[in-house]
Amino acid sequence: MAKVSKTKKTATPAIPAKPELPTIASQADVDSFKQWILYHLRCTLACNKNTATTHDWLFAVSCAVRDLIHHRFINTQAAHVSAKTRRCYYLSVEYLMGRLLRNNLSSAGLLETAEAAMRELGLDPETIFEEEKDMGLGNGGLGRLAACFLDSLATLDLPAVGYGIHYEFGLFRQTFSNGYQVENADNWLFSGNPWHVRRATRRVEVPLYGNVELSYDENGNLKPRWVNTTPIIGVPWDIPIVGYKAKTINFLRLWEAKATREFDFHKFNEGGYIDAIREKANSETVSKVLYPNDKTAVGRQLRLVQQIFFVSCSLQDIIRRHKKENGSLDTLAEKAAIQLNDTHPTIAIPELMRLLMDVEGFSWDKAWSTATKVFAYTNHTLLPEALEKWSVPLFEKVLPRHLQIIYEINRRFLLEVEKKWPGDEGKKRELSIIEEGAVKQVRMAYLAVITSHSTNGVAALHTELLKQTLFHDLHELYPDRFNNKTNGITPRRWLLACNKGLSALIDEKISGDWPKDLDLLRGLEKFADDADFRKRYMAVKHENKVELARIIKKLCGIEVSPDALFDVQIKRLHEYKRQHLNLLHILTLYHRILNNPSLDVTPRVFVFGAKAAPGYDLAKHIIHAINAVAEKINNDPRVNGKIKVAFLPDYRVSLAEKIIPAADLSEQISTAGKEASGTGNMKLALNGALTIGTLDGANVEIGEEVGDDNIFIFGLTVDEVKELRRRGYNPWDYYNRDEELKAILGWLTSDYFTPQQPGSLAPVVRSLLEGGDPFLVLADYRSYVECQERVGEAFRDKDRWAKMAILNTARVGKFSSDRTIAEYAKDIWRLAPLKVEQNDVEWSISAAK
């Protein structure tokens, strides 16, 4: 037997020591950050430099800055708990976060350090940044606004938690086949994500279906009991939200749906392999996809289940946190401000009532008093069809207890209506939360307004239209509850991080911390007449256009000139946003060029980016039409490069970050009175793109800020739209009296653009003529074309255009989301900043070990 030594120990391989934690105070040197990356490559990912893939390096770099973020996150949350602070809880069904690495490094003041460290390791920083997947948590402006608001909440040191759904596949990844949109699963989590943290111990249970029994409590009082329910589990994932300079780190909590029983072993052993995982599959469907197609009954039910799932998880989490910090729920309204981001989370109202009454033992009056104090509602649409309604039979099936609560809210509310308008049964029908009809519907927007202590619009015009039209009678009943909070964007992502050239130029000319005080950009006005500054400003724009031209070539196979006017329309595809009006202008130019080859046309590149909802057939036809026309124009030698059309596939935040800095012209051409606000208009103007638009949404306020000489306005106003509809709008009138319009619509219906599919573009034309043109495309066509002619003339005058672009950048400081959030905090949430003293030294390496 071998002799065992009792004294000599075998040496163990050395574990790489953690380098010093990078701190913002010392602006961590490059060597320190480089060693931090290598530590995570080896000890977190089990890789060495020779075997590491680009994705491994992305994770290692992310983990390097994440360590600092997590340290400061812990400090932030400890400070909030210690102060028993009041918090904002932001409920949104989507968050369009984009990529986080570059933004987090920038916010932490480590971007240049990290880039230098990567270069010393033989890495190309842009390659690493491009490796990161956009988070599949949102779709359009609603989700992007929510992401900007989270950024501003942290930047302003306001205690807040965002709540949403941890979608496995997000919306979809868009490709084109023969010009048609094709939806593919966006498996954004396939390779993992370095930012989110799973909190399995914070899981909660959400009941669904079942029935309500009436029983009596021990005091003989009637007490409804929701029984025979089917539960699903919500498991939270947390994503840190890094404020500017990383002083406050809030978080976004996203709920993943899981089954109460993962696996039926008995059924599996009997050969029922599919049945063994059926419950798991059914439950987890809830958090699979953002906005499942609701054209079917199953799709509508899934959407309702998604909504109750995420709000119930969130409210239970809010209640748990409040009880832990404050004991009694009697003070919930003093400590919690719950913001409903549009109508989707409105089911939170009856759910909070249920939790307070059925679980916590509150009386109706006490629960209602709490609900009306904690909830506030933001409306994001003027389209009646976009205001959610759920059928009563569906509610009865999925949420029978909530339907009871809604009926009682409605009964009590109608007593208020009777008091205001005695004997007016018509008014009661108009205002009732329950809409009568062949199938009764629950009007969720009405429920939101009736319960919330604040209802706000998102642009001055939008708010006035809410009060005058959509919620006219509710405004008359509750005039003090309505207010405006014009949307904003975070300049940290939409200028500082995405447009480094322009940011550097601004740094030269502006003293002060402009990324946190965007009004400081007013200091650029005096340079608009400086020839050298105009030249340098436009040189930055040209560099950005060269980069976008490269991307267009890569994604679309189209060669474009960066000297051309880049005419950009990037937004969700919807009829009211009128991408088809843009298309008619393109066709007009094409038609003119073919009929007059010597026509002097300002060279243009038309850039589109948009996704259509899978069930929105006409929107998908519009995409096909744009792609078909683009294919023809881009390959027609007679055009001679005067115009090009590029529809970039899979529009997303990371693509917007490339398009926006390169744009010359910003298309904001919705029908007046239909766009609530818009935020793309703000991002583009901030980066020096001139707006062509109607007097709609925030365009009105952008015009007021930049001045009439620095914006291109066309089309009918809200009042003119109203008058036209009153008289009776007939699109055929415009068609018959405009020969050019008649020609291009006829051309579009021919087989010229789709010889292999004759008539395939006809649905777009039919919607404009036979379909009644609901968004007045033909009514605004001639005004739009003439306005575009003015754009072309202005672009030829390089000095004039440069001055206009500079003044746009200088004058849109109002549209920082910091200003918007400061107004929410003061006027709606009554939320005070809580500054956190961060001490990175206290987190020593030895303690970490």
Residue 90 pairs in a beta bridge with: 162, 339
Catalytic residue chosen out of the listed positions 679, 691, 694, 809: 679
Q: Is 644 a catalytic residue?
A: no
Dump the DSSP string for 197-212: EE-GGG-EEEEES-EE
Task: Work out whether strand 211-216 and strand 222-227 pair parallel, antiparallel, or are unpaired.
Answer: antiparallel
Active site residue 578: no
Helix (H), strand (E) at residue 180:
strand 180-184
Dihedral of CA atoms 408, 412, 415, 416 in degrees, nearest 10, equals: -140
**Shortest CA distance to 810 belongs to which of 533, 497, 459, 531?**
533
Q: How far apart are CA 390 and CA 333, in angstroms?
A: 28
Q: CA 691 to CA 683: how far, in whole Å? A: 11
| Cα first-last separation, the chain | 39
The distance between the two most distant Cα atoms of the chain, rounded to a whole number of Å, is: 107
Which 8-state DSSP code applies to residue 177? E
Active site residue 380: yes
> Is 683 one of the annotated active-site residues of the chain?
yes
Query: Any idea what the Cα angle at residue 54 is, between residues 51 and 57, rounded to 5°?
Result: 80
The C-alpha atoms of residue 419 and residue 785 are separated, in whole angstroms, by 53
The single-letter code of the amino acid at 733 is: D
In the residue annotation, 577 being an active-site residue is answered as yes
Interatomic CA distance for residues 223 and 213, integer angstroms:
8
Q: Looking at residue 45, what DSSP letter applies?
A: T
Token pair 């259509």: residue: 612
Q: How many residues does the chain have?
A: 849
Phi, psi of 558 (to 5 degrees): -115, 130
Q: Is 135 helix (H, G, I), strand (E, B) or coil?
A: strand
Catalytic residue selected from 196, 492, 574, 683: 683
CA-wise closest residue to 88 among 236, 245, 250: 250
Give residue for tokens 């090009």: 644
SS3 374: helix
- As annotated, the active-site residues are 380, 571-572, 577, 679, 683
